[in-house]
Amino acid sequence: MTKRSDNQRLDKRGEAHLNLQFEQYVVNAYENDFGIDFEVNLTTEDNVEDEDLQRVTGEHFFIQLKSSEGFDSDDSVFTDLKTTHIQQYLDQPLPVVLAIYDDEHEEIYWRIVQEFVWDQLSQENESWREQKTVRIRIPRSQKLTDYDRLETAIQRTQNRIIRSQSRDLSLGEGLSFSPDDFTELERQRENDRLSYRGLTLLKARQHLKRGDFDQAEQSISEISESDHDDQAKVKALFMEMMRRNPAHADEALEIVEYAQKAEELAQELDLEVDELIATVHKHVAGLFVILEKREEMMFTDAVQSLDGFGVSDYDLLRDMESRDLLIGEMRAVGAINRALATLLENDYYYEYAVSLSPIIDYLSNRVMVNTLSPKEESGGDNELNPLVDQAVQLADYIPEPETEFNLRKSAAIYYYHTNNPDTAKELLKDARDLAEEIDDHVLVEDTKELLQRIEDQPDPYEHSDNGDDRDSVKDREEAAKQILELQGIDVDLDSDSDTGEYDPMETAARLGIEDADPERYYRHCEHLHLAYSPSYFGRLTGVGSIGTKTLWCEHGGGMSSTSLTRMFSAFQEEYCEGCEYHCPRPEDWEFTDEFADQQVNDPEFQEFIEARDGKY
């Protein structure tokens, strides 16, 4: 009991020193099961009027804190970390700092785990992953209070992490499939393919081929929802997954549920291969859900670039959300890669091939979102993912038309989204021939439609890549409404707002939509100035027109209100009627970003706003 209490007191002293030495940062305890103790947010004093306040930069890192009574060496300190923890640190999207507190010297020393592994451990000991623990030694010259050195290392490591995580998040990294392995496919093909069949499921597949979806659903549900747990039920759950499109978030969530059931049942029945395939489907569907959230961010990014929608805190909020999404993506990718590696290690080549199609479908959608996102850096998207190359090679060796069809179609769509329409058409023509061979009318029509789309539009992005964000969000009111709907806030503009119970959130959202377009007010008079001051709700949702709006004219006066529409009527009555300076803008006048910035930053207008704010 005494020993444990001594260790607890030692740990508390270590934590106290860390918090004291990091008082200029934001330090939060981090709850997890793999040895991360704190999350630290870097701060800066730039652009902060109050010298006692700091602004969070959005840059983060993790800390694993170890405390010791002392060390014999005067040159360094050390600790032994579990290999499993180190591997989990390498999967993190943020730098992980190992901090060692030396109680004798009352000092903390640090080292970034990822850089230690990349630059030293992997070079000196290639088989370190086979060990239970790894010793990490830190020179005493590397003190935690050397903030410039620490922040530089954090930024350097974060950049290396971002570079190492390609836009496809390294799916398939380290997985190789030699042509020599293809000879195993013929031996496995018949048994593997027949193992997926049962009389009722065969009937369901025939219904799907003919497009009889209701009858197919009835046959599949008969088994997937039965109380009898056997391999046929696992296969029925697979068919439930394959009938759904993960590109639609609601269907992706359904796939996750079915895959979870299949995974658990396969584990219970000791069906290792089925369990691995279910794992792949579950995490691929999860990646699609995350991808839809990235699409929502992409839309908000575009709107944020428009006048009246910019929110000062948006970049910080976006970075925090993007980090959370990246953590989810990396965990899913790690699970998928481990499942694929296990399939290869155990010579389950056919099942490996079956698992590739949904992964490549995700990669295609990911490429598309990255290409369209105004926040994404260009470059890297057209580099072929190794799994796509493997899929094309496997398609040449697999003598089973349905799996070959899926591989060729998925690879074709990937090539199309990476601006290689000729290769895409070749693969789709082969896929169409396969669909005709197996007499699947649904797949034949689907493939023909894809071929026609590529023929009509060789560049999948030509309708979006025009350099003008307004083309994707022409109507500002509709843009604001869509942003809110993407976040689960539905506003019915046609309903009577004066009926029913008062809902402050819905009212604020309604006013934000109504006030989203400033152009009509600017056209009223060339002397009129307008400013948006987003509320917390406006900043949180990314709709800058939710909050206080201010109208001002140098020849009259000014007003502020949460409703621009209603305030404008009062403003006209108060200041515009009979005004000798009233000067409507000409019909050919165009509203631009530069104009909006210029009129908001008018010194006299800013003086009015500051005086107004000083009253509250």
Rounded Cα gap, residues 554 and 572, in angstroms: 14
Rounded Cα gap, residues 128 and 83, in angstroms: 8
Return the minimum-mean-pLDDT range out of 237-251, 310-324, 347-361: 310-324
Rounded Cα gap, residues 495 and 181, in angstroms: 64
Tens digit of pLDDT for each residue in 485-498?
666 677 766 655 55
Q: Is the pTM above the cut of 0.95? A: no
- Contacts of residue 213, defined as CB under 8 A and 6 or more positions apart, other chains included, come to 207, 243
pLDDT at 3: 53
- pLDDT above 70 covers a percentage of the chain that reads 75
Phi and psi, residue 358, nearest 5°: -65, -30
Rounded Cα gap, residues 437 and 431, in angstroms: 10
Question: Does pLDDT of 5 surpass 50?
Answer: yes
Question: Does pLDDT of 403 surpass 60?
Answer: yes
Distance of CA 237 to the CA centre of its chain: 27
Topology classification of domain 2-164: Trna Endonuclease; Chain: A, domain 1 (3.40.1350)
pLDDT at 351: 86
Counts for the chain of helices (H) and strands (E), in that order: 24, 10
Question: Does pLDDT of 367 surpass 70?
Answer: yes
Question: Does pLDDT of 519 surpass 70?
Answer: yes
Strands (E) in 461-527, as ranges, are: none
Nearest Cα residue to 37 out of 14, 20, 3, 58: 14
Question: Does pLDDT of 442 surpass 70?
Answer: yes
Question: Does pLDDT of 336 surpass 80?
Answer: yes
Tens digit of pLDDT for each residue in 185-197?
544 444 444 343 3
Pairing of strands 55-68, 96-102: parallel
Which amino acid appears at position 18 of this protein?
L
Nearest Cα residue to 169 out of 257, 286, 276, 315: 286
**63 three-state secondary structure:** strand
User: By the 8 A CB rule, do 432 and 468 touch?
Assistant: no
pLDDT at 219: 67
More confident residue, 420 or 543: 420
Question: Does pLDDT of 616 surpass 50?
Answer: no
Tens digit of pLDDT for each residue in 115-144?
999 889 988 888 898 899 999 999 999 999
Nearest Cα residue to 537 out of 570, 553, 572, 513: 513
pLDDT at 472: 36
Rounded Cα gap, residues 122 and 231, in angstroms: 43
Question: Does pLDDT of 257 surpass 70?
Answer: yes
pLDDT at 77: 93
pLDDT at 377: 44
- Contacts of residue 232, defined as CB under 8 A and 6 or more positions apart, other chains included, come to 198, 200, 201, 223
Pairing of strands 547-553, 38-44: unpaired
Rounded Cα gap, residues 99 and 544, in angstroms: 41
Burial of 460-499, coded b for 16+ CB within 10 Å and e otherwise, reads beeeeeeeebeebbeebeebbbbbbebeebebeeeeeeee
More confident residue, 107 or 176: 107
Q: Six-digit token pair at 103? A: 């109680």
pLDDT at 299: 67
More confident residue, 122 or 51: 122
Phi and psi, residue 39, nearest 5°: -115, 130
Nearest Cα residue to 259 out of 223, 293, 286, 222: 286
Q: Count the neighbouring beta carbons within 10 Å of the beta carbon of residue 227.
A: 5
Rounded Cα gap, residues 530 and 162, in angstroms: 40
Q: Count the neighbouring beta carbons within 10 Å of the beta carbon of residue 265.
A: 19
Question: Does pLDDT of 162 surpass 70?
Answer: no
Nearest Cα residue to 125 out of 91, 133, 93: 133
Rounded Cα gap, residues 121 and 117, in angstroms: 5
Question: Does pLDDT of 113 surpass 90?
Answer: yes
Phi and psi, residue 549, nearest 5°: -115, 140
Rounded Cα gap, residues 136 and 117, in angstroms: 10
Question: Does pLDDT of 290 surpass 80?
Answer: yes
